Each structure stands twice: as structure tokens, then as C-alpha cells.
Structure 1
Amino acid sequence: MRNPWVHDDVPDDAGKGYDGPVRLLAAFMWGSLALLVGGFVLLSGAGVVDLADGGSLGEVVTGVVAALALALALPILLKLLAISRALALLAFLGTGASVGRFVIAREPERFRALLDARDGLVENADSLGELFEFADSMSPAVVDGASVVIDAATATAVGLPVA
């Protein structure tokens, strides 16, 4: 028995897709998902809705909503890419900015920790730079010592006296 929701009114030219209740169901599901995710992002960014409890549940909700928002934007971005690269770039930047602001607004502690870690990395990079400067200052002496060792090893291998 055929499922009427899946096998109903498939046109002869495959470019159009399905007609009938399948298209209606797809439009309803994508529309409701876009409204739910977009509404949650907007309300959360405005501070009206706050599900973050300071634990891992808030991080999971933030990650899932951000991933859904990006997944919903991807088909639109691909359609815009077929129309105009500049328009697709503007939509991509707008989507990235809105999702990024949403994530930063919901997880400010993570970004503060990243900034603190960046400051620590800058201090460590200064120490690493001093190490490289020390190695550069040693390099002529090290090269001379290495050449003496190589000369001695070659002379020993060949059977010449080592000077």
C-alpha cells in the first residue's frame, strides 16, 4: 500500500519536486522550526527568555539553538548564492553576526575565560620570544661546535688523525 503523504502527485519533470500534501507538510514543518528557532534566538538575545542555569544545560541549549539557526540559514544562503555572490555574502555575514551575538549573550563566562587565556598566552609568547632570541644568539657558537664534531667524526671514520 502506498503512503499518500510520500507518493502523492509526483510530477513527470523531477525539477519541481512533490505536489499536494507533501509540500504543505514540508512548508509547515520548516516554517514552524524557523519560527521557533528564530523566535528563541530573538527573545533570548533581548533578554526575555533565559534558560541558562549556569550549568551544562544552558550550554547544550545554546549549542543546539545555534546549530539549528545555522542549519536553517544554509538553504537560504545556497539559494542566494545562485542569485548573487554579494547578496549571499551579506546574508552570511548577517547570519553569522546574529548567531554570534546570540552565543556571546548566552555564554559570556566562556568568552571571558577565552580572553583571560589570551592574556596568559601573550605572557607565555613573550617568554617564548626570549627563548628564540637566546637560541639565535647562541647559533654561531653552536654551528661552530657542530662543525668541529662533524669534522672529528669524519676524520675518525676515514682514519685521519683528529686535530
Structure 2
Amino acid sequence: MNLIFLNEQVLRGLAVRFIDGAESLQWDPTALRLLDRLCEAANARLVVCSDQQQNESRLEPWNERFRAAGSRHIEVVGLTPVLCTSDPGVEVLTFLKTFAGTVTRYVILDSRPGYLVWQPHLRAERDTGLTARLAYEALAQLNAGSPLLAEWQALSGYGDLLSL
């Protein structure tokens, strides 16, 4: 199984404050579409990183949120454990040890530092989030080689946005 460890900030979530004072996190539709296509192309599942679990520790609400946002291929299959460490790389490693033998390849999409040197961490910039180029790099890592650019362009529908 291919996994994508995701920090929700990669989707460039913006807090929207409503008149009644309530807040809602709105994902960037382009970033969400890229993630959906990446999951489809790499046959990958998601694991949500621990700092995003403050209010929710079950999987189903995450899957419901992705479906409600229009995703057809994103499936959350796990949450990294919340450990007494500020190193998210250790949390990923702990998760992987729990599922030893079932994970084929993985990639980490996160804007935070703190991953182990050898972990496949693709760091998203906070102001840009998930871009077509970052999604392409993730797909190349998950597929153990660089896919044909034309295939990804056709799949993603972003064409010129993926010029490397």
C-alpha cells in the first residue's frame, strides 16, 4: 500500500470566520484536486499527521470532510500517533512500525520541518501549499521513478502549470 502522510496545511486551509463567530477551515480547491488526482494516480491512501488531530481522533470524520469537498479518491486510513516529541518524523516512523510489511512506499507532504533525514519529506511552502510540481514529485517517489510528464499532465488537467 502506498501512503501519503499529510499535514492539512498543505491544502492551504484558510480559516473563514462567519457572522456568528464560528470558524470553518476551507481547503484550496486546486490543492484538493491535486491531492485527489495524486491519490488516484499513485493508488495511495492518506495518513493525517498528529497536529491536525486536536479535535478529531477518528478516521470517518476525515473521510466525510474529503467526500463533502468533492474528493473521489482520497481515503484516510490512519492518524499518526500523538507522542511526547516535537519531531513529526518519529510519529511517522512509529506509525510505519505498526504497519510493517503492508506499506510499499510513502511520502510526507508537510510544511513543517522535523522529519528524519532519510524520510521522503516534500516540504510545501506555507504560502503556496500543494502545487502541481510538488504533486508530480510525490507521484515520482510513490511510483519509484519519474512518470511520463505527459501522463501526469493529462491526468491532472493542469498542463502548463506543471512545467519543470
TM range (shorter): under 0.3
Question: How does the TM-score come out when normalised to structure 1?
Answer: 0.21
For the pair shown, the structure with the greater C-alpha radius of gyration is: 1
| Structure showing greater relative contact order (alpha-carbon pairs closer than 8 Å, 6 or more residues apart) | 2
Question: How does the TM-score come out when normalised to structure 2?
Answer: 0.21
Higher helix share: 1
